[in-house]
Structure 1
Amino acid sequence: MALDALISEGHPLSHDLEIDLVVPRPLAEPLPLKSIPVRVVPEFDSPRLPQFWVQAQLPWHVPGGLLSFCNLAPVVLRRQIACVHDMHTRLMPSSYARGFRWAHRIILPLLGRRAARITTVSQLSRRHLIEFGIAREQDIVVTYNGSDHAKQWDSARSTLAVNRARPYVLCLGRADQEYKNVRLLAELAPFLDEMGLDLWMPGDADETAILRHVPEMPANIVLLGRISDDDFKKALEGALCFLFPSRIEGFGLPAVEAMASSCPVIASTSPCLPEICGDSALYSDPDDVRSWVENVRQLSIDPDLRKRMVEKGHARASSYSWRWIAWNYLELMIQVDADFGEFNE
């Protein structure tokens, strides 16, 4: 959408550049695009094979270059910019199914050698791509992610209704990815309860996921299940703070979304959250429950500290702009066209 806005405005870098969005099926919710048409290349689905559309079908429908944001892009295309978000399948393999891990292990090095440019979302991810031999250092560009989308969420559209009167802190619960550190959240809950705080947990974590880490279900954990963006916005706006105890992130988008939504962030000291959040978050070790308790306590008793963290968070989130990232991709497309000796496709 940010690329579409720049093209619609007649940005100089978009002159003589034709872009369309290729998808395997019609979009369930059409994007409000003004200048980028959507082209459907129907997916072969009898039987539906993993990666078949990407690797075997899509390349036949790319007359010029390809811009892919989906990690596993077609390995046969050289005139291509592909975004590889992280190397979690190698760094945190227990969080992923075996087939998913092996697809990344096989495809990513091939893609890194073939694609004209590889982009990624943090300096940490760039370093990992180099260390795992995915691509050459000079071919990897860090674009980061944006926060603008969170400002479009509207809590007035939310249907979230929680029949609890106590103040709360907010987190995300993932049952299937150990590095998201549900263990710390489960162990933290009783301490929050002593402070008169509930712990709201949207996501796919259920009571079974919590009970893997503690002997009984903490009474102050409120499992919200999967919620909409507008619901998430409402929950962020009402929370004392947002807790993000991950052991590793490629970028850590929820932390930036929280900052953009006026919610102070307490983040893990694990990479790459200090890189992304800077001095706009409070930090705790992902295994030190007492440190998380103390940071929450400080925000609860010091309104001035909370106000400062909200203001810093706004400024930090505003520095991550999809418009700026789209500008970078326009420049990269021009560079790749120049590498291939063509400017008009």
Structure 2
Amino acid sequence: MPPMRKWTINGDFLTLSPNGVARYGREVTLAIDDLLAAGGPLADGLEVTLATPVGGHDLPLRHIRTVHVPEFRRPRLPQVWVQLQLPRHVQGGLLSFCNLAPVAVSRQIVCMHDAHTWLMPESYDRMFRLAHRVIMPVLGRRARAVATVSHHARRQLAALGVAREDRIAVAWNGCDHALRWRASRSPRDYRNRRPFVLCIGRNQPYKNMELIWAMAPALAARGVEVLVAGEAGGAGALRHGPNVVALGRISDDELAAAMEAALCFVFPTRIEGFGLPAAEAMARGCPVIASTADALMEVCGDAAIHVDPDDVNGWTAAVIRLLENPFERLAMVAAGRARARLFTWRGVAETWLGLMAAADGVPVQAPGGRGAASAAPIVAGA
């Protein structure tokens, strides 16, 4: 009987809010667990352990064993657990899903989601920038393999010298988790509001919230509200226009209800590694107007309307176009749902199992390109 192939998952993401890179870590872990439970060639002889700090959120795992590793001290200090404690509990290889990982472990596969701290450093505080700029290039040289979430991010990381392009695999994001959200559980009903556009706002310059505020008055003249979920806007949202409504942080179920009722989802971000909110909106049947950021052009393809992130008139015109053309909007709903089906967490997990098998020297067929549809995008305002 061949020896077991052992891998450990870096569960640091379980101490974080389940969004962004933490969402990626959570969903890939659950999907790997499902594949291990189902069996198959890539799962043969594979033993996976999840190492997580004490106090992290537990996952409903059937096949992956969880090990809780206490931390040195409270309050929790960034990277102490990852760099100093986790390496002592790694069995076999290590999977790190969220950018930073222990530099002491060379037999690992690490996912680097983007190069934002290089491209728009003003969006991050000094210590966050420093940690990423120091640790990621070291991992790019030492790790057995590097993954990222789009071909665009792969090119960016290579161009900046973080890792060689031939060592970076594309392991996408999935968005089918959004199908588990239940709009019926939302505390607010969005269906009887006047027409509104929805966005997820964050107070980081690269998210380009200035575009949202700039187009709000023109939308107000057409009777269209702007609903902002997330941290941006806050209690002072009305200063951006009487039609701007700050929802604050809302649950996934409420986000599903808002997406299903919205005229469209607007995503004017200047840079993205993948652009998960746009994919989630498409999965929920919400038409997407997205920026011309390369990753969004790649992920959304011709299922979204793409507008330059500085073209306020182009964004306003795109929203009004959907307001005045309900049949075009319905066509975009169908196209978005079809596009979203390209991005599944099972497919992402299969890619990771393939990378693990390759690291173990197990012959495996190269995984197919998920989300690689190349239809020409729609570009508005061009």
TM-score when normalising by structure 2? 0.84
The aligned residue for residue 232 of structure 2 is 205
Structure 2 Cα separation of the partners of residues 226 and 49 of structure 1: 25
Equivalent residue in structure 2 for 1:96, among 117, 121, 124 = 124
**Displacement of 1:248 after TM fit?**
0.6
Identity of aligned residues (%): 52
Deviates more, 1:2-11 or 1:46-55: 46-55
**Displacement of 1:271 after TM fit?**
2.1
Q: Does 1:194 align with 2:221?
A: yes
Residues 270, 210 of structure 1: alpha-carbon distance in 2 compared, 3 angstrom cutoff: farther
Structure 1 Cα separation of the partners of residues 103 and 135 of structure 2: 7
Question: Secondary structure of 1:272's partner?
Answer: helix
Equivalent residue in structure 1 for 2:142, among 114, 129, 151 = 114
- On the 8 A contact 1:173/1:182 being kept in 2, the answer is yes
Q: Tell me the alpha carbon deviations over residues 253-298 of structure 1, each in whole angstroms, 9 at most, x when there is no partner.
A: 0000000000000000122111110000001111111111111111
Q: Cα RMSD (Å) of the superposition?
A: 1.6
**Displacement of 1:229 after TM fit?**
0.4
- On the 8 A contact 2:197/2:262 being kept in 1, the answer is yes
- On the 8 A contact 2:216/2:240 being kept in 1, the answer is no
Bigger fraction of residues in strand: 2
Number of residue pairs matched by the alignment: 333
* Correspondence list, 1:23-38, <5 A: 23-28=52-57, 30-38=58-66
The aligned residue for residue 188 of structure 2 is 160
Equivalent residue in structure 2 for 1:218, among 241, 246, 249 = 241
The aligned residue for residue 297 of structure 1 is 320
Which structure has more RCO (C-alpha within 8 Å, separation ≥ 6)?
A: 1
Question: Secondary structure of 1:243's partner?
Answer: strand
The aligned residue for residue 209 of structure 2 is 182
Q: Does 1:10 align with 2:39?
A: yes
Residues 224, 163 of structure 1: alpha-carbon distance in 2 compared, 3 angstrom cutoff: farther
Q: Does 1:241 align with 2:264?
A: yes
Q: Does 1:170 align with 2:193?
A: no
Long gaps (5+) in structure 1: 340-345
The aligned residue for residue 140 of structure 1 is 168
Structure 1 Cα separation of the partners of residues 99 and 283 of structure 2: 26
Q: Tell me the alpha carbon deviations over residues 164-205 of structure 1, each in whole angstroms, 9 at most, x when there is no partner.
A: 832211011112x11101100001111111111110100101
- On the 8 A contact 2:259/2:284 being kept in 1, the answer is yes
Given residue 106 of structure 1, which amino acid in structure 2 is its aligned partner?
A: V
Question: Secondary structure of 2:200's partner?
Answer: coil
The aligned residue for residue 349 of structure 2 is 326
- On the 8 A contact 1:71/1:82 being kept in 2, the answer is yes
**Displacement of 1:133 after TM fit?**
0.9
* Correspondence list, 1:121-136, <5 A: 121-136=149-164
Question: Secondary structure of 2:48's partner?
Answer: coil
**Displacement of 1:37 after TM fit?**
1.6
Structure 2 Cα separation of the partners of residues 332 and 163 of structure 1: 44
The aligned residue for residue 74 of structure 1 is 102
The aligned residue for residue 55 of structure 1 is 83
Structure 2 Cα separation of the partners of residues 48 and 180 of structure 1: 28
Given residue 236 of structure 1, which amino acid in structure 2 is its aligned partner?
A: M
Q: Which runs of 4+ in 1 moved over 4 A?
A: 161-164, 207-211
Equivalent residue in structure 1 for 2:68, among 34, 40, 48 = 40
Equivalent residue in structure 2 for 1:20, among 49, 52, 63 = 49
**Displacement of 1:128 after TM fit?**
1.1
